[in-house]
Structure 1
Amino acid sequence: MKGQKQQYVTIKGTKDGLTLHLDDTCSFQDLVAELEEKLALNQRHEEGGPYLPVRLKVGNRYVTSDQREELQALIRSKKHLAVDSIESNVISKEEALELKRETEIVSASKVVRSGQILKVQGDLLLIGDVNPGGTVIAEGNIFILGALRGIAHAGCNGNRQAVIAASIMKPSQLRISDIMNRAPDYHQDDRNEMECAYIDEFGKIVVDRLQLLTHLRPNLTRFEGGI
């Protein structure tokens, strides 16, 4: 007796819609054929039902842009269904390199002088000063082992959790995401310690002792188990 045909598509209904678990070992053509068959069967049961978002989980299969479009078109062709997300455990080399650039710490040992701009994609670790008229910009956090007397802009792509830290915090301007503070509300004349700037719960940039960062941003460290 022949064994039962292996199922390539498993459909699970949730309160948020449908989740489709797709086999990652079969051919893409076989996967699409079974997906169309099962969606047609499921549609007969859901005829006249409410709009349902669909999440596709493709496991360890890399899905090209053309294959994504094919899956989306197939689901859009069914009434009351629309793709909410396509989730894969696999990304391309280009996507991996972009992720690395966005999350890595870029270190530089220099003085950023007036008129100069230093910009990085990830976090910036600057060993040196930022002079008045100099600018440092990062998509992530900014850490300065030196004096910040110019402009610092962290989280420039919209990350409001980004922070700015400096050994000597006397900036002409601080920016985090879309929030700007030209005259930080603090006095460092009597301080001799590193400080950090962050956006508080009221949406304002404040400057305080660096030691507070472990409590304010517990996920800042990338070491296992935290600091």
Structure 2
Amino acid sequence: MKVQKQQYVTIKGTKDGLTLHLDDSCSFDQLLHALEEMLSLKHYIKEAGPVIGVKVKVGDRFVNREQQEKLASVIMKNRNLIVEIIESNVMTKDEAVRLKEETEVVSVAKVIRSGQVLKVKGDLLLIGDVNPGGTIIAAGNIFVLGALKGIAHAGADGNQKAVIAASLMKPTQLRISEIINRAPDRLPIEGNEMECAYINENDEMIIDRLQQLTHLRPNLTRFEGGI
């Protein structure tokens, strides 16, 4: 009776290139061998023609930097293939901690006075005022349940999708990612509604009613019920 050989590599073509699904139950050496064998087929050997992008999915297998380099080397060796990304369902403890810090909402109840700086890695929910001369900085979004009269910098790590919202929006300066804007002199919105600042498709900072965020940032639902 012939024993069927287990397939450790599955290749799927997409409009953007190839996706390689690699088995996560075999040993890494078995995986490399299977990958080399699968890609030895003639139509993967380098010939005249465009370079094909490859996305590699390793499932529930953690691959360190050295293993990632070995996978990429096998895939690209003498072939018109280039590895664009290697995706894994698992991560290191340090990566998990960093991700948690970047996505959590940090709640602070205090008044930020002149000369004080408050900086967080995730989203900031400030219950209190930011006085003139005070500064708040967040890698994510900024929500101020109070008067924003100082400086606010959201998306400090480069996230242009970040927003700044405040019960009373009278800042000396607003900044989202690298885009800076001094709030223009204007009458407050009728009824003292909460306002928000965001970057539009033309890389311009816009200040509008907070309700606009439900349409502009539909994924902004970290608070129960959304904005």
Structures share a fold, TM > 0.5? Answer: yes
| 2:103 maps to 1:103 | yes
| Unmatched 5+ stretches in structure 1 | none
| 2:11 maps to 1:36 | no
In 2, distance between residues paired with 1:180 and 1:50? 41
Residue correspondences, number = 227
Q: Which residue identity does 1:150 align to in structure 2? A: G
In 1, distance between residues paired with 2:60 and 2:12? 19
Structure 2 equivalent of residue 150 of structure 1? 150
Structure 2 equivalent of residue 134 of structure 1? 134
Distance 1:196 1:137, change over 3 A: same
Q: Which residue identity does 1:171 align to in structure 2? A: P
Identical counterparts, % of pairs:
67
Contact in 1 for aligned 2:44/2:80 (Cα 8 Å): no
Distance 1:149 1:24, change over 3 A: same
Structure 2 equivalent of residue 64 of structure 1? 64
Contact in 2 for aligned 1:184/1:206 (Cα 8 Å): no
In 2, distance between residues paired with 1:122 and 1:9? 38
Deviates further, 213-222 or 24-33: 213-222
Contact in 1 for aligned 2:46/2:79 (Cα 8 Å): no
- How far off is 1:105 after superposition? 0.3
Distance 1:187 1:72, change over 3 A: same
| Unmatched 5+ stretches in structure 2 | none
Structure 2 equivalent of residue 215 of structure 1? 215
| 2:162 maps to 1:162 | yes
Structure 2 equivalent of residue 122 of structure 1? 122
- How far off is 1:94 after superposition? 1.4
In 2, distance between residues paired with 1:44 and 1:111? 63
In 2, distance between residues paired with 1:199 and 1:186? 19
SS in 2 for 1:73: helix
Deviations 1:74-96 (A, max 9, x none): 22322312211111111222111
- How far off is 1:211 after superposition? 2.1
Contact in 1 for aligned 2:45/2:80 (Cα 8 Å): no
Distance 1:146 1:15, change over 3 A: closer
SS in 1 for 2:174: strand
User: Cα RMSD (Å) of the superposition?
Assistant: 2.1
Deviates further, 38-47 or 18-27: 38-47
- How far off is 1:163 after superposition? 1.1
- How far off is 1:174 after superposition? 0.8
In 2, distance between residues paired with 1:148 and 1:225? 24
| 2:18 maps to 1:18 | yes
Q: Which residue identity does 1:211 align to in structure 2? A: Q
| 2:53 maps to 1:50 | no
In 2, distance between residues paired with 1:161 and 1:106? 18
